[in-house]
Amino acid sequence: MSNRTLIRGGTVITVDPALGNFKKADVLIEGTSIAAVGPDLDAADAEVIDASNTVVMPGFIDSHRHLWEGILRNIGVDVPLEGDISYLAFVLGTLSPAYRPEDVYAGNLISAVGAINAGITTVLDWSHIQSSPEHTDAAIRALQEAGIRSVFAYGFPWFGDWNPNQPEWFNRAANQYFSSKDQLLTYALAPYGPEFAPMENCQAHWEMARAVDARVTVHVGVGSFGQHGKVAEFGRAGLMGPDTTYIHCTTLNDEEVQMIVDSGGTISLAVPVEMLMGHGMVPTQRFLDRGLAPSLSVDVETNVPADMFSQMQHAMALQHALVFDRKLGGEENVPDQVTSRDVLAWATIEGAKANGLADRTGSLTPGKQADLIMLRTDAINVLPVNDPIGAVVQAMDTSNVDSVFIAGKAKKRNGKLLDVDLGRVASLAYESRDHVVSASGFTLPTI
């Protein structure tokens, strides 16, 4: 059987400026990689997939999601970040302590499978539920079984006292699962960060990550926690670097924003979450003004949809609203409105950069891994397609995701997930949800 697949005759969006886009072209996959992109490719021995009536493009990349919360989807839609009744209080403070390893597995599995179904081929799993090595093993096993490209970001639990075994557990996982970077799963550290831990702890955590060549991904500028200049203190301590992704950044001051840019760091915005939950005003323009484009992330499925279409639509709409509001207020020399092309890059190549994977995914560049999706253009919600990029960003949703390939392997075809027992996934999700809710004493919302 040939290890070559030819995706024939689609509208190809490469997200590679040097390569450009094609109204009609082919993508040739050899093994796990993209071999060629262009019109009328010759591949006589390849399996041919008809891509007519589809957009072929890189898979979406989510740069920050708490996958273990997959069993808690939509449990807190009306709940803000802070306060007596809040995400911090009931998800992190009440529900998460009840998680067993099998519950982490169930949450990660349903979230990862859901991501693939939505056309997301890479996700950073910000996993602050590492209460034991068994919790870590369960989270990683779910990612492996789902077959999604993932950065597993080892995080410390929000609740309880600091466990002095955490550095040992972190290093154990590094040695056991991440001795090679040539695999679907790569490693990162998700520390508390300067707003939630003393500076000497931050220094120890960044040193711990860098000792095993792991990226760092950290929440900063988070609601009221970000209003005290801790990130500036962190920056002046010399701890910033291009290996760190900063999440939210909503209440940082200008000095702190500039420090992130100057350090070569990347940022991850979760626009619907930040608007709905009280994190602060989304800082998209503050970074764009300084030359740094954001990546996008789902963050918490407890409150928002688990797809990148929603992320792109919210991000574009908010940036436009704020720019037009300045114009209507009489301000001159306001920034340009971002384009659909800009926002599509945020959901693909910028996510790859934030996840430390831009050399292998995020664009349909020959030589990169074959992480790509096919989106239907003959569906009633988008036809007739006049602007393919505009259609992807502003008109499509998960129902348009026809096919998903990760490292050249088909994970979804003709609108159906492959090699997934959805009945088993659902059963695990319900069983774990029921245990966590019952053990925590939490009461589900009523209608």
Give the start-to-end residue ranges of the domains of the chain: 4-58+359-417, 60-354
Nearest of 374, 377, 399, 372 to residue 388 by alpha carbon: 377
4-58+359-417 and 60-354 have identical folds: no
Give the per-residue pLDDT at 114.
98
Give the per-residue pLDDT at 160.
84
- Does the domain at 4-58+359-417 match CATH 2.30.40.10? Answer given as yes
Q: What's the CA gap between 409 and 403, in Å, rounded?
A: 11
Q: 41 — phi, psi (to 5°)?
A: -70, 145
> What angle in degrees, to the nearest 10, is found between the helix axes of 133-146 and 101-117?
30
Nearest of 237, 233, 223, 289 to residue 261 by alpha carbon: 289
Q: In Å, how far are 56, 336, 394 from 389, measured between CA atoms?
A: 11, 18, 9
* Token digits of residue 84: 């007596």
Nearest of 87, 94, 82 to residue 66 by alpha carbon: 87
Q: What's the CA gap between 385 and 257, in Å, rounded?
A: 39
* CA angle, residues 99, 120, 395, in degrees to nearest 5: 120
**How many residues does the structure list for the chain?**
447
Q: What's the CA gap between 250 and 294, in Å, rounded?
A: 13
* Token digits of residue 56: 């072929």
Q: What's the CA gap between 11 and 14, in Å, rounded?
A: 10
* Token digits of residue 180: 């090679």
Give the per-residue pLDDT at 1.
53
Q: Residue 277: is it exposed, middle or buried by C-beta count within 10 angstroms (0-12/13-18/19+)? A: buried
pTM of the model: 0.97
Q: What's the CA gap between 325 and 285, in Å, rounded?
A: 13
* CA angle, residues 282, 121, 23, in degrees to nearest 5: 90
First vs last C-alpha separation in the chain: 54
Residues 131-168 have pLDDT tens digits of: 999 999 999 999 999 999 999 999 999 988 899 999 99
Q: Do residues 223 and 281 lie in contact, with contact meaning Cβ atoms separated by under 8 Å? A: no
Residues 64-101 have pLDDT tens digits of: 999 999 999 999 999 999 998 899 999 999 999 999 99
CATH number belonging to domain 60-354: 3.20.20.140
Low-confidence spans in the chain with pLDDT less than 50 = none
Q: Do residues 288 and 338 lie in contact, with contact meaning Cβ atoms separated by under 8 Å? A: yes
Q: Do residues 406 and 113 lie in contact, with contact meaning Cβ atoms separated by under 8 Å? A: no
